A and B are shown apart, each in its own frame.
Chain A
Amino acid sequence: MNPVCIAIISNENSPLLMQTSTAYKSSELDLMFLAHSSLDVIEEKLTVRSTGVDQRELYLGQLYPTEQYKIYGYVTNSKIKILVMTENTSQNIDQEVKTLFKQLHRSYAQLMYNPFYQPGDKIHFPSFVKYIEDILK
């Protein structure tokens, strides 16, 4: 798996953090548009999930494919959305993405313990940003 971009989006759909891998810095704006667009699919999936059986499943799977990227979604119980974008290859990376989401979720939960972080604010903490950057390397 080669993640291209990771985005953390608030429960009000505003971006809290969005990091792009160095190789894709020039496409950062496009990726941001894609991340924003995928909120439509997330909302659809959440609506379906609210009427479905298993509401505990946080992993939303692949949101929608583009010619270049695959976008995977994950939503926490507090409606924080995590997006991972990868290159659009034929490889089945579902399990890897799932594992990555769980790691990201755990790290975000740890961030919430930080008394200096106000939930809903943009994430600027260097340690967390570096953690994301390391994933994207």
Chain B
Amino acid sequence: MSQAQGKISKLFAKKHKSVGALDSPIMSRGPLGRQENRPKVKEVLVTYSTEENLFRILKPRLEAELCKQSFVDDQYKDGNVSLLQCKIKFEKFAPETYEKFDTSFFNHNKFLFGTPLIHLFFTSSNEISWYNRSTKNDIKTWLMALEQFGYDNWILVHVTQHASTLRKNALSNINNVINTIKEDIASTSPSSAKKFYQLTLPEKGDQATEKHYDGFITFLFTTMKKYFISQTDRYETLLSMTREDQDKPLWNFFHYFLMQEQLCFAYEHMGMYQAALLAYDEIDAMLHYLIIKMSMNKMKKSRWFETLQHCCQEVLLDYPHITLSLDQSHDPSLENKTCSLFKLRSVIFERQATLLFILGQAWDVGQRALKLLKDLSEESSSMQLPIPTGALDAWSYLMCKNVLDVILDQLSNNPLNPLKQFAIELTPDRPGPDTLGPSQWVVRAQLWHLQLNKLHSLGQISGFISSKVGTAAVMDDYSTETETLKELWGSMSSNDPSSSALDLLNVLSSRQTFNRAYVELAEQLIGALKHAGRKRMAMHASMNFAKFLLAKKDLAKAQDVLTEACKLYYSDKWPVLRLNSLSLLAASQDSKDNPPHEYLTTCLLLACTLPILNSHSQERFFHCFKDRIDSIAKESQQEIIPIQFSLLFTVNCISYAKSEWEAGDVITLTLSLTNKAPADILIDSIKLAYQGKETLLSPIANIPGYWTRLYSYTSLDEIPKDTRLGERSRSRRKISKTYSQDSSNFDFYFTAKKVTLVPGENNLVLSTKCRIAGTYHPDDLIIEFSSVQFRHSTDPRPSGSFPTEEIEVVPSEAKLALSVDCPGGFLLAGKPSEVTLNIFNEGKTIILCGSTITLSSSQLLILDVLSGEYNREGECYQITLPDIKVKAVYQVRLQVRCDPEALKPENILAESKMHSSISEGDNTMIRRVPIDVELPKDSLYTLNSSPGDDTSCGCVLQLTATCNWVNKKAHHNYGAVIPLAFYLPFKCKYDLFSSGDVSFVKLTLQSTTPLPILLRDMKVKQTSVLKSLMTCDQLESLLHPGDVMTLLYQVDKEFNPVLSQICQLLIQYSLVGQEETILEHSFRFKLHDIQSMFILTSQIELSDAVLKKDQECKLSINIKNIRDLPRQWQAPMDDIVVVEYELRCENGNWELGEEIHGSLRLQPMKNASEDLKFRIRPLTHGQLPLPNLFLTLKSYTWNNTSSYITAQFSDTSSPADVPYTMIPLTSVQVYNSTASMVVPIHSDN
């Protein structure tokens, strides 16, 4: 608590102590007890003139009965005239004590109740003689006195004993007296006769006399009332005359007020509360009228007006506090005519409020309070009252609070509320506290609304709320505004404050208390308005409340309020108000703690859907949207935020290039889309999804097997000859349900990526394939960019209807498919395998019972039909089909086998040489090249192939199908070529190399199948030539896919070097998992020229110690026979073997001399040798290999007919004519013993 606050609180405490404990607001002004909240008992004078003894008998009952009387006065609505609040005071008639009635008489305090209300004369004369002698004169004197003072409110009563107590002749005497009295008073004035009443004293148990007495009382009261009314009329006339003098300089409103109030008090005493209220209302209206008129200088300002102007320095001295007292005493300032405007207003309002509570119109007090505050505001501003800043706001705040407290207290069941009890006595059927209707809620809400407005103003003065709406409170320290507050509090503390004033002081003591009070009051207001059924007013209050919440950063609460506001303004179609609430909502949602989609949605609403905003503002909000989604995309790559589609896009229409499409065709459409954003949008993807009307999924999806892997779906009439199977397979799209990210199902969709949508209408041309016949309709449109997704199907309020134009996809031709049933899903060459031929009727074709399909295989493919009805004609099978309905599949089981003949070399269309890495040899690898269809470069067919290795491992044979069914539109026969790929189990090759006079053969196997192979047995035929150097060929071994196995054999030395030998490697194997089936594979290879015949030995002859670069030297090469040379190499005449030689230097390191080739004559026997010398010169330095010597010899024709022998012994032919061929000797036949030798060459230096 601040120092100032503490000081003020002490002051308040002191004041409170002086006035004592306060129980309730209405008791706070003083020790108002039960009696004070009733009209103070007024004495009503009634004079009498009679014998004392007689009056003593009459008085008690008259006093009691007169106060009970009540009559409804027609002059005032609901105005009961009674003497309930009065005490009847009987005085002996003494005319000299009464003042004479005069219109100039201003002692209004005594005017209404200071004079006797009625004058009574009682007589009990029952003898005419007595009357004439005494009573007659008394009456005459009494009447003359009344006439003298102008009173005509009298009654002459003759009192008679009950008949039972009278003597027999007494009654006639009494009648004589009465008649005489009547005649006497009638002689003065004819109307006076009506003022005579004969009263018979009632006797107990006699109903007639009791009734007679009641009639007398009524007569008496009526006469009193009549007089009272006539008196008030006369008083009102006096008031009217006074009012008319208001323009006169000496006229004083305070005086008039006090006069009028006397009338009000008189009405109150007579129970005429409605009349009293009306009188106060007149004063109220007159005061306002005069103040406004004088302020506007339409009337000369009186002294009382200036008094009002100057007596308001301490406005809060006169702060409103309704005491609800019927105490008729006045404040001294009012009596002295130095009252302030606020004081005067308070007094009038208090009187009005009290009367309203008595009349059971508690909620009207609230309405009048609002009117008072409005009038007071107008009056104070027009009078230009020098009141402190915020004083009027505080005054109004306290007034509202006080009024509401009092109303609620009056309506509560608080038993200590005496005025309420008094009011209940008067009007027992008044509404209780539980009967709060909508109108009462409205009043309550209006008071709270005004109170909240005033609190807002006070908050602005105190610095708790910025005067700029919607921004945070700028003042952190309210002490900066304490000058104003001090002034305000100074007024309050100098007063005798109530708990309301203390409350206000407490509210303004700190920001926290202010915020708490503001929130509480705002919530009460909103609740009350909703309770009263005024939802729009409640929303208006909510909007102001939301601004306050935004300023104090209570964003969550502000969002709730603003969201509700947006909904209401949207449903009521008030776009400007919705825009206002949306912009505030965006401000409240612009927080990282808030789910981003809410802020994004609001931004889009502002940017795109409300055309009221100018383009600059729209772009600003759209940039806010883009900035946020970009930041989200950077922060979280995975997060996709769904946003309402219609916020940003509208789908106008979809138009198709044509109305009907065939399954598999490329469907093209144009999508017309409106971009509502004020700027271009680069979208990542757009998907237009379609859904079929019925389930049209093909049953082929359920077929087990490997048709998908084989890509064997072949349309019967649409395969162009130049189409590669592999390409078709790659272009084929799997037709099945496509699952998007959010698991929605579509049959197919059109899509485009990276498209820029300009503001306004955009036309996108999209295309895709649909492979399943059916009727499809557009189902969804999904647009994604950055981190947001717009999806039409999830749009709660789609703008416009989604296009419903359907696509008709008609069936395509029937299709055939081969599915391989073997484990591993591949066909092995040489092994019989079962496959299934699937015939699928797509719907375009009609396949009736009895239709046939004819299958023929290529030459090397052995085909058997295992199921169904068929006829065989040669190599062709004609299968009779049943009726195959649309979307039905018929299956025929077949057995296929690749003929082993296909593996024969003559059936191989192409060969390629494989080069040995060790030495050259005639090693040929069998390469299978597709016969009918080229093998696709697909991974399935190039298992275990290293990059750049184009060796294949299988062959493709063909199965030809011819069908005789018809198209629905035209009669056609169809045919198809179905390729069948067979794998070889191994890739085999052999290498040949030699060492001296020994030669070797190396065989290499590599597994090519997808499954492991169990090798059972491996044997080489012609074992006499080849001798195995390894023992593993006899053992079972497992060869995994891609594994390589090598076998090494030595060639028999005695093998004739001229002959060739075909060898065959026989391999018995089985696939893992099918060990019971033993398969056989053979690899044939041809051995020839495998024996070494010559041995070369090279040597450099040096002149110096070292050989230098560019230094010429001699190369000496010795050629020696390793074995006896065959006969056919010897010349026919001299048995000499002629060898052509040539020295080559392929690496260019040596410059060769002129004589580098020539002929050499060798003896055919073993170990014969010849030397050759060459001049060479090294062209570089370093370790250089020597040049190679290549030999070619003549081989003469050598056959059984022995043409050579014939030629040898024939006289007609010369040996030179014997035909021969030049045979280049291989590196195996000529063994170079110095092949690996290098010569050191020094540089010139």
Interface string of A35-57 (1 = CB under 8 A from B): 01111110010000000000000
In the bound complex, do residue B378 and residue A44 qualify as a contact, i.e. CB atoms below 8 Å apart?
Answer: no
Partner of B540, one of A12, A15, A33, A88: A33
Q: Among residues 431 to 446 in chain B, which have CB atoms less than 8 Å away from a CB atom of chain A?
A: 438, 446
Q: A29-B580, A67-B377 are in contact. Are A14 and B533 (CB under 8 A)?
A: no
At the interface with chain A, which of B499-507, B570-578, B1209-1217?
B570-578
Judge whether B155 is part of the interface by a CB distance below 8 angstroms: no
Q: Give Cα distance in the complex from A13 to B574, angstroms.
A: 9
Q: Give Cα distance in the complex from A64 to B537, angstroms.
A: 11
Q: Among residues 285 to 301 in chain B, which have CB atoms less than 8 Å away from a CB atom of chain A?
A: 288, 292
Contacts of B438 in A (CB 8 A): 44
Judge whether B399 is part of the interface by a CB distance below 8 angstroms: no
Q: Give Cα distance in the complex from A15 to B534, angstroms.
A: 18
In the bound complex, do residue A32 and residue B533 qualify as a contact, i.e. CB atoms below 8 Å apart?
Answer: no
Q: Give Cα distance in the complex from A14 to B577, angstroms.
A: 11
Nearest residue, chain A, Cβ from B289: A90
In the bound complex, do residue B572 and residue A36 qualify as a contact, i.e. CB atoms below 8 Å apart?
Answer: yes
In the bound complex, do residue A37 and residue B537 qualify as a contact, i.e. CB atoms below 8 Å apart?
Answer: yes
Judge whether B603 is part of the interface by a CB distance below 8 angstroms: no
Give the distance to chain B from A134, nearest Cβ to Cβ, in Å.
23
Q: Give Cα distance in the complex from A20 to B577, angstroms.
A: 16
Contacts of B404 in A (CB 8 A): none
In the bound complex, do residue B574 and residue A32 qualify as a contact, i.e. CB atoms below 8 Å apart?
Answer: yes
Q: Among residues 357 to 394 in chain B, which have CB atoms less than 8 Å away from a CB atom of chain A?
A: 370, 374-375, 377-378
Nearest residue, chain B, Cβ from A39: B536
In the bound complex, do residue A40 and residue B537 qualify as a contact, i.e. CB atoms below 8 Å apart?
Answer: yes
Contacts of A65 in B (CB 8 A): 370, 374
Q: A40-B533, A40-B537 are in contact. Are A33 and B572 (CB under 8 A)?
A: no
Q: Give Cα distance in the complex from A37 to B539, angstroms.
A: 8
Q: A90-B375, A90-B378 are in contact. Are A36 and B536 (CB under 8 A)?
A: yes
Give the distance to chain B from A19, nearest Cβ to Cβ, in Å.
13
Contacts of B576 in A (CB 8 A): 29, 32
In the bound complex, do residue A14 and residue B540 qualify as a contact, i.e. CB atoms below 8 Å apart?
Answer: no
Contacts of A33 in B (CB 8 A): 540, 543, 577
Nearest residue, chain A, Cβ from B534: A40
Give the distance to chain B from A131, nearest Cβ to Cβ, in Å.
22
Partner of A40, one of B292, B377, B450, B535: B535
Interface string of B532-552 (1 = CB under 8 A from A): 011111011001000000000
Partner of B374, one of A15, A36, A37, A67: A67
Partner of A36, one of B377, B453, B574: B574
In the bound complex, do residue B533 and residue A44 qualify as a contact, i.e. CB atoms below 8 Å apart?
Answer: yes
In the bound complex, do residue B288 and residue A67 qualify as a contact, i.e. CB atoms below 8 Å apart?
Answer: no
Give the distance to chain A from B533, nearest Cβ to Cβ, in Å.
7
Q: Give Cα distance in the complex from A51 to B156, angstroms.
A: 57
Contacts of A15 in B (CB 8 A): 573-574
In the bound complex, do residue B572 and residue A14 qualify as a contact, i.e. CB atoms below 8 Å apart?
Answer: yes
Q: A13-B572, A14-B573, A90-B288 are in contact. Are A36 and B378 (CB under 8 A)?
A: no
Give the distance to chain A from B688, nearest Cβ to Cβ, in Å.
34
In the bound complex, do residue B292 and residue A90 qualify as a contact, i.e. CB atoms below 8 Å apart?
Answer: yes
Nearest residue, chain A, Cβ from B574: A36
Interface string of B554-597 (1 = CB under 8 A from A): 00000000000000010011101100100000000000000000
In the bound complex, do residue A37 and residue B288 qualify as a contact, i.e. CB atoms below 8 Å apart?
Answer: no
Judge whether A89 is part of the interface by a CB distance below 8 angstroms: yes
Nearest residue, chain A, Cβ from B580: A29
Partner of B577, one of A36, A64, A89: A36
Contacts of A39 in B (CB 8 A): 536, 572
Q: Give Cα distance in the complex from A50 to B375, angstroms.
A: 33
Judge whether A136 is part of the interface by a CB distance below 8 angstroms: no
Most buried by B among A12, A13, A15, A67: A67
Judge whether A34 is part of the interface by a CB distance below 8 angstroms: yes
In the bound complex, do residue A34 and residue B540 qualify as a contact, i.e. CB atoms below 8 Å apart?
Answer: yes
Contacts of A34 in B (CB 8 A): 540
Nearest residue, chain A, Cβ from B535: A40
Give the distance to chain A from B529, nearest Cβ to Cβ, in Å.
8
Nearest residue, chain A, Cβ from B453: A67
Q: Give Cα distance in the complex from A65 to B374, angstroms.
A: 9
In the bound complex, do residue B534 and residue A41 qualify as a contact, i.e. CB atoms below 8 Å apart?
Answer: yes
Interface string of B421-461 (1 = CB under 8 A from A): 00000000000000000100000001000100100000000
Q: Among residues 267 to 298 in chain B, which have CB atoms less than 8 Å away from a CB atom of chain A?
A: 288, 292
Q: Among residues 9 to 36 in chain A, which have CB atoms less than 8 Å away from a CB atom of chain B?
A: 12-15, 29, 32-34, 36
Give the distance to chain A from B526, nearest Cβ to Cβ, in Å.
13
Contacts of A12 in B (CB 8 A): 573
Q: Give Cα distance in the complex from A37 to B533, angstroms.
A: 12
Q: Among residues 52 to 109 in chain A, which have CB atoms less than 8 Å away from a CB atom of chain B?
A: 64-65, 67, 88-90
Nearest residue, chain B, Cβ from A14: B573
Q: Give Cα distance in the complex from A15 to B536, angstroms.
A: 14
Contacts of A38 in B (CB 8 A): 536
Name 23 A/B residue pairs within 8 A (Cβ), A-sorted.
Answer: A12-B573, A15-B574, A29-B577, A29-B580, A32-B574, A32-B577, A36-B540, A36-B569, A36-B574, A36-B577, A37-B534, A37-B536, A37-B540, A40-B536, A44-B533, A64-B446, A65-B370, A65-B374, A67-B374, A67-B450, A88-B374, A88-B378, A89-B378
User: Which residues from chain B sit less than 8 Å from chain A, CB to CB?
Assistant: 288, 292, 370, 374-375, 377-378, 438, 446, 450, 453, 533-537, 539-540, 543, 569, 572-574, 576-577, 580
The 8 closest A-B pairs by CB, nearest first: A14-B573, A40-B534, A37-B537, A37-B540, A40-B536, A37-B536, A33-B540, A13-B572
Told that A37-B540, A90-B375 touch, could you supply 16 new A-B pairs with CB distance under 8 A? Answer: A13-B572, A14-B572, A14-B573, A29-B577, A29-B580, A33-B540, A33-B543, A36-B540, A36-B572, A37-B536, A39-B572, A44-B533, A64-B446, A67-B450, A67-B453, A90-B378
